[in-house]
Amino acid sequence: MPNQVEVKKKILLRVRKIKGQTQAIEKALEDNVEYGAILQQ
């Protein structure tokens, strides 16, 4: 079983990836990017 530090690192990496993805979608929406292009992200 992985230790808690390894699990925490993996969770933080995933959360940061999700955060980056949602920020990119938010910026695309603010910049009026075509919806089809946004949905492909």
> Phi/psi at 34 (nearest 5 deg)?
-55, 135
For 26, the token pair is 């938010």
Nearest alpha carbon to residue 24 among 10, 35, 38: 38
What was the pLDDT predicted at 35?
A: 75
What was the pLDDT predicted at 7?
A: 94
For each of the chain's 41 residues, which pLDDT tens digit applies? 678 999 999 999 999 999 999 998 899 889 988 877 777 75
What was the pLDDT predicted at 1?
A: 61
Residues 39 and 41: their CA atoms lie apart, in Å, by: 5
Residues 5 and 31: their CA atoms lie apart, in Å, by: 39
